[in-house]
Each structure stands twice: as structure tokens, then as C-alpha cells.
A and B are shown apart, each in its own frame.
Chain A
Amino acid sequence: MATTVVAEDTGQGKPRLGDRVFSRLALVAGIAILVALAAVFIFLAIEGVPGLAKPAEFYGEASSFWGYVAPLLFGTVLAAVIALVVAVPLSWGIALTVSHYAPKRVATPIAYVIDLLAAVPSVVFGLWGISVLAPRLSPVYQWLEEHAGWIPFFAGPASTTGRTILTAGIVLAIMIIPIITAISREVFSQTPRLHEEAALALGATRWEMLRLAVFPYARSGMVSAVMLGLGRALGETMAVAMVLSAGGGISFNLISSTNPASIASNIASNYKEGTPGKIQVLIATGLVLFLVTFLVNFAARWVVQRSERRLAR
């Protein structure tokens, strides 16, 4: 996207009163967010930092905080990656169907159903995951273990209940599909009609039109959508806690019943009966999750900026 120069102030001389008030308001809102979010961060830091260096018995099996948090972090990232791998192509597919492929009669109900799903409470996703999805996937895992056991992901032994990290990832994927779809759909349909028609008029097929006119225009929004989805997948608490059979260490085995927990689900599971010292440890893990989302977002922004710069040239 080429950024054209916008007139910074339209009136000559001093800006009008309305302008001054409005821009102040916008600034205040921005600073309010800054303050609120910084407050959360500071709160986490104050409450969590003592949790970094507790006596060894606070960390269960592990002897240090890092030994305690590593499998949790791994579980968080693994579940989120599975969720993204599953959800992103599907979401973009749905978004394209709604914005460009399906006739309006079909597109509207599809969009509607997807939006509805954003509202299903995570508890219900969890319930559905245990009672409907996991039993269905269990035979698939047995099959995978038998026929694809040579791939480390499917080494087994396959879980008999189906409550594996792969199932948790799929549930997460279903939870983030509405988010990614809704935003991608909006940015796809915001593409200037003229660009699209110009591409078609040059003889482009529909797919070429999408590639030439829509995707470059929508790229930043698509990445934003994925990032929001990723944020939810990383921070999702109850559904993972309910679906996942947690309690293992770092392992790439996706279909066994021994899986690493995720940071958020671990907080939810262990917070209830926690003593003050234990809760500090849990909040410290929350801090780690914070840092991870920061790094991921940072990387994503960097990638987008680089590609935009290349495009601008």
C-alpha cells in the first residue's frame, strides 16, 4: 500500500477549536489504553516476579521456574500452531466464499452462522470437544498410529479417549475461525471495486484477480486477522483446560494421552486451590505468555512492514 501524503493540517494558521478538541480526545483515548495496559503489565510484574525464584517445591517435578514453564510454553505454542495451521486456510476460504465466490443469497447466511460461533462460550466449546469431537477423533488416532506411526507426530500410543493436543488444537481452530473469517471478510470486501474490475477487464481469471487486486490490498488486514486469532489461541483458557489431557512434558507426539498443558489452562486449573505462593508462580507464567505474544506480534509486524516496503517500491 502506498502511503500518500495527507495534509497534516487543513486550515491555515491555528487549527480550529473542533479539531483541537477532537484530536485531544483521540490522544486521551490512546493514552488511556496505554495507561490501562501498562497497569496490567505492572500488576503482572509485581505479582509475578516473586514467582520466578521460589523454593524448588513450588515447581513440582521441575527444580526451577524455567523447568516448570518450558513444557507449558511448548504446549501453548504447539496448540496454537496446530490451531493456526487448521484455521487459517479454512478461514480465508470462507472469507473468500462470502466476499467473492458465493452469491449473496448463500453468502449472507454463511457469514451469519460464522459470526454466531464467535459467541459460543468457551465452556461450551470445551463440552462439545469432550463429548462430541474427542470420541469421533479417537478411532482416527488409532488408525494414524497403525498406518503413520513412523512419523514422530503420530508415534502413539494413541489415546483411547481422544483428548489429545491435536484435538485441543482443532477445538481452538474452530474457536478462532470466526475471528479470522470476520476480519478477513471485511478487508476482502473493502477492496476497491475499480481495481477488481480493471483486473478482470485485462482478462484475469477470478483467482488472478484475487492475487493481483485483492490480496496486496488486504495483506495487512489478513495478517491482523491471523494475529488476533493467534492471540485468542494462545490465551484461551477453559476450552483447552477441559479438552486436553495434560500432565506431560515436551513431546511432539500429537495423539497420545500425555500432553503438555498450555500456560493459560494451567493457570485456570491450578489457580483454584492455589496458596498465595503458588499463585505467584502461576502469574509469573502469565508474564511469560505476555512476552511470547509480544515477540510473535513483533515478528508479524516486521514481516508485514518489510513486505509493504517491497510492494511500495
Chain B
Amino acid sequence: MSVTTAPTRSASRSVSFTAAKLPRFAPALVAAVSIAAAALPVLFLGWGLVAWAIVAGLLHLVALPLWARVVEGSRGATDRLVTGLVWAACVIAIVPLASLLWTVVDRGLPRISTTFLTYSMYRTDLDQEVGIYHALIGTLLITLFAAIISVPIGIMAAIYLIEYGKGNRLARWITFLVDVMTGIPSIVAGLFAFALFILIFGPSTRVGIGGSVALSLLMIPIVVRSTEEMLRLVPDELREASYALGVPKWRTIVKVVLPTALGGIVTGVTLAIARVVGETAPLLLIAGLTTRTNFNVFADRMTTLPVLIFTQNANPGIAETPGGMRPGLEIAWGGALVLIVIVMVLNLVARIIGRVFAPKTGH
């Protein structure tokens, strides 16, 4: 970026030390003009609202950089174009995501009630009300234990890879296997846990902890990889400063490196939990299905929300409910909404923890 290229034209006209820039209101103005211009074909050709939005968006995406090219030069134009593209990507991605969330809320919300949340599916009469309490407990406990298994192992392994291993043969092997594990289909993890528990505890074994083991196999790679990435981003200057003060390596890691990377690690762990909390296949195999509430992950079957959603959706029954849906589908959508809310709360808690423990920095 030599300073000579950009400001030539404007500098020749008036004595100014800043390059010419579009006025601050330029994006808004272009947006308004684009929307208006896109209205023309919409009116004449009878297109829908969606087409209008797309045409207006494209116009804006092209028009603003063009204008910027005239006033600000090519660098400014590129910058405007990228800004437009970045925002466009965001908007495009939000549309299906919002549609999905809306679908779940729209179909799930009517079913949510105290009964739904505090009753299990155990019935002694077909007319009794049912709920998802047993699955809620199952999901919470199994996921909790999966996290208890995988988070310490994952974080310590990442510490080994970044702080101790430093590319030796063992570290390379671990990295390699963790990479391969990211693509393991969940059903294979389930099959493995199933085979393992049957081998050890006999063929009638159906326990929640088996589900936790299967899930932790899926979680560990995510925890390791995201933690590894975050640790790698911690500047070496920080470590060196700590060593220079005579702080032992392990305390440097615990007091300096981990807190610096905490935000990212928490995100990684949350992601890992979010990834496995919706798993179906492995849990159906090893944790089984029951209609009762079970608080003990080490004995007996446990139902989890995804398994419940899956089975209820597969066999929704025939009786029509007042809402016009089949009873199974109502439970499935209600369960999906509850599952999302659980993760939302987990996410929020994780973020608060991340914020409280993050080191106070300049920005």
C-alpha cells in the first residue's frame, strides 16, 4: 500500500490529507434506491416479495461498490463489495435458520404445559396425560456424564498436544486419530459402546452411562480440536513472561494460558454438548427406551429426548388430538422445542462463565 496511488485525484483539486470517501449515508441511500428500483419489475411482472428482496439485494450489492469505485477508487470499492458480501452471507444463512426455529416453535409451543414437563410417559390407562419428564432427566444426566468424561480428557489432551507434545511422534498420532474421529458416524459410536458394555456386563445391559460413553466418543474430538485451536492462539509472549517471573510451567498453563483461551474453550465445549445432545442412534441402542423416570445412570434404561422425538415421530399413532396433529408428532415437536431451550440455557450459562473468568484485557 504505497501512499502515492490512492489520493491522486482528490489531492490535486483541494488540499486534503484524507482520501475522498462516500458520505456516511451512502449505504442507506443506495439501499433505498435499490428497493425502489427493484419494485419496478416486481410491479410489472407480478413477482413475489421474495423476488423483490433478492433483486433489491443484488442491486445494492452491485451499485454501492460501483459508486465507491468512482469516488473512492478500486480499493474502496473492493472493501464495499466485501462488506456487502459478508452481510449478504449473514442474511442468506439466517433465513433457513430462522425458518427452522420458527417451525419448531410454531409446532412445539402449543404442546408445552406443566403436565408435559412434569409427567413421564408411564401410564396405566390410555386416557391419561403424558409428558416428557423422564426423557428430560435422561438427557440431562446422560449429557452431564458425557461431559464429565470428555471435557477433562479433551482439554488435558489438547494441553498435551500444544504445551508438551509439540509435534513429537505421540502428539502427531493423537492429532491424527482425533481428526479421523471427527467423521465417525454416531451410529458406529453407539455400536461400539453397545458391544463394549455387552462384553463386560452381559447381554441385557441397557444403562445410561453406556450412552454417556458413546456420546463422549463423539464429544472428545470436538473438545480437543477447538481447545487446541484456542491454545495455539495464545501468544507465546504471555507464556514467556510468566516463565520469566519464575512461575512453573503447569501454573503458567492453569493461570495464564487457560484463562486467556477460556472463551474459545467454553464455546468448543458448548458446541460439543450441543452436537451430542441431539444424538439418537447410539442412545437407542445402549440406553434403551422406557416410559418411567430413571435417576440412576448406572442401572436400568433411560429415555432421552432425541430418542423420544425419533420414536414418536416414526410411530405417531392415529388418534387426532385437539390441535389436529397426531399425538406422537405433538410430543416430538414439543420435545424438540424443549431440547433447543435446554441448549439455549446451557449456552447462556457457558457464556456467563466464560465472561466472568476471562482475563480483563484492554478491549
Interface residue ranges, A against B (CB under 8 Å): 1, 4, 6-7, 9-11, 15-16, 18-19, 21-23, 25-34, 36-41, 43-44, 47, 89-94, 96-97, 101-102, 110, 112-125, 127-128, 131-133, 170, 174, 177-179, 182-183, 185-187, 190, 192-193, 202-208, 210, 217, 220-221, 224, 227-228, 230-232, 234-238, 263-264, 267-268, 271, 283, 286, 289-290, 292-294, 296-298, 301
Given the interface contacts A120-B104, A208-B75, does A228 sit within 8 Å of B185 by beta carbon? no
Chain B 69-104: CB-based contact to A (< 8 A → 1; otherwise 0): 000000110110011011111101110111111011
Pairs across A and B, CB under 8 Å, 18 listed: A7-B243, A10-B247, A26-B164, A29-B159, A120-B278, A124-B278, A127-B332, A190-B264, A192-B235, A207-B82, A210-B82, A224-B225, A227-B225, A231-B183, A235-B184, A264-B185, A297-B182, A298-B179
Decide if B344 touches A116 in the complex (CB within 8 Å).
Answer: yes
Decide if B239 touches A121 in the complex (CB within 8 Å).
Answer: no
**What are the 8 closest A-B residue pairs judged by CB atoms, nearest first?**
A93-B89, A293-B183, A121-B278, A231-B182, A119-B343, A29-B156, A22-B250, A26-B160
Given the interface contacts A33-B178, A193-B363, does A117 sit within 8 Å of B1 by beta carbon? no
Residue of B nearest to A43 (CB): B192
Decide if A228 touches B90 in the complex (CB within 8 Å).
Answer: no
Given the interface contacts A9-B249, A19-B249, A203-B1, does A123 sit within 8 Å of B306 by beta carbon? yes
CB distance from B150 to the nearest CB of A (A): 10
- C-alpha spacing A185/B226, complex, angstroms: 12
Given the interface contacts A16-B248, A124-B309, A292-B183, does A97 sit within 8 Å of B87 by beta carbon? yes
Q: Which residues of A contact B89 (CB under 8 A)?
A: 89-94, 97
Given the interface contacts A34-B174, A110-B94, A221-B233, does A227 sit within 8 Å of B182 by beta carbon? yes
Q: Which residues of B contact A4 (CB under 8 A)?
A: 236
Judge whether B220 is part of the interface by a CB distance below 8 angstroms: yes
Q: Which residues of A contact B300 (CB under 8 A)?
A: none
Q: Which residues of B contact A115 (CB under 8 A)?
A: 267, 270-271, 274, 347
Residue of A nearest to B261 (CB): A190
Please provide the chain B residues from 167 to 218 with a CB less than 8 Å away from any CB of chain A in the complex: 170-171, 173-189, 191-192, 195-196, 217
Please pick, from B85, B178, B195, B280, the residue contacting A37 in the complex, using a CB distance under 8 A: B178
Given the interface contacts A116-B340, A122-B280, A267-B187, does A26 sit within 8 Å of B163 by beta carbon? yes
Please pick, from A97, A101, A267, the residue contacting B188 in the complex, using a CB distance under 8 A: A267
- C-alpha spacing A113/B221, complex, angstroms: 24
CB distance from B99 to the nearest CB of A (A): 6
Decide if B164 touches A193 in the complex (CB within 8 Å).
Answer: no
Judge whether B230 is part of the interface by a CB distance below 8 angstroms: yes
Excluding A23-B164, A290-B183, 7 further A-B contacts by CB distance (< 8 Å) are A16-B248, A29-B160, A34-B174, A101-B87, A183-B229, A220-B229, A290-B180
Decide if A30 touches B75 in the complex (CB within 8 Å).
Answer: no
Residue of A nearest to B342 (CB): A119
Given the interface contacts A193-B363, A293-B180, does A118 sit within 8 Å of B83 by beta carbon? no
- C-alpha spacing A147/B271, complex, angstroms: 41
CB distance from A277 to the nearest CB of B (A): 16
Q: Which residues of B contact A301 (CB under 8 A)?
A: 175, 179
Judge whether B240 is part of the interface by a CB distance below 8 angstroms: yes
Please provide the chain B residues from 330 to 356 with a CB less than 8 Å away from any CB of chain A in the complex: 332, 336, 339-340, 342-344, 347
Q: Which residues of B contact A220 (CB under 8 A)?
A: 229, 232
Judge whether B277 is part of the interface by a CB distance below 8 angstroms: yes
Decide if B94 touches A113 in the complex (CB within 8 Å).
Answer: yes
Decide if B271 touches A118 in the complex (CB within 8 Å).
Answer: yes
Given the interface contacts A33-B178, A43-B195, A238-B280, does A283 sit within 8 Å of B235 by beta carbon? no
- C-alpha spacing A210/B85, complex, angstroms: 14
Given the interface contacts A40-B188, A206-B79, does A183 sit within 8 Å of B248 by beta carbon? no
Decide if B278 touches A119 in the complex (CB within 8 Å).
Answer: yes
- C-alpha spacing A257/B3, complex, angstroms: 58
- C-alpha spacing A133/B242, complex, angstroms: 54
Decide if A193 touches B362 in the complex (CB within 8 Å).
Answer: yes
Judge whether B137 is part of the interface by a CB distance below 8 angstroms: no
Judge whether B263 is part of the interface by a CB distance below 8 angstroms: yes
Decide if B240 touches A235 in the complex (CB within 8 Å).
Answer: no
Judge whether B141 is part of the interface by a CB distance below 8 angstroms: no
Decide if B181 touches A37 in the complex (CB within 8 Å).
Answer: yes
- C-alpha spacing A289/B177, complex, angstroms: 14
Q: Which residues of A contact B155 (CB under 8 A)?
A: 29
CB distance from B69 to the nearest CB of A (A): 13
Given the interface contacts A33-B224, A128-B100, A238-B280, does A38 sit within 8 Å of B177 by beta carbon? yes
Among the interface residues B160, B164, B253, which one has the most CB atoms of the partner chain A within 10 A? B160
Please pick, from A18, A23, A174, the residue contacting B96 in the complex, using a CB distance under 8 A: A174
Judge whether B310 is part of the interface by a CB distance below 8 angstroms: yes
Decide if B157 touches A29 in the complex (CB within 8 Å).
Answer: yes
Decide if A113 touches B101 in the complex (CB within 8 Å).
Answer: yes
Residue of B nearest to A131 (CB): B103
Decide if B222 touches A228 in the complex (CB within 8 Å).
Answer: yes
Q: Which residues of B contact A114 (CB under 8 A)?
A: 93, 97
- C-alpha spacing A221/B92, complex, angstroms: 24
Decide if A33 touches B153 in the complex (CB within 8 Å).
Answer: yes
Decide if A263 touches B185 in the complex (CB within 8 Å).
Answer: yes
Q: Which residues of A contact B174 (CB under 8 A)?
A: 30, 33-34
Please pick, from B82, B249, B281, the residue contacting A237 in the complex, using a CB distance under 8 A: B281
- C-alpha spacing A21/B159, complex, angstroms: 13
Decide if B249 touches A27 in the complex (CB within 8 Å).
Answer: no
Judge whether B268 is part of the interface by a CB distance below 8 angstroms: yes
Q: Which residues of B contact A15 (CB under 8 A)?
A: 248-249
CB distance from B133 to the nearest CB of A (A): 18
Judge whether B251 is part of the interface by a CB distance below 8 angstroms: yes
CB distance from A215 to the nearest CB of B (A): 12
- C-alpha spacing A37/B157, complex, angstroms: 13
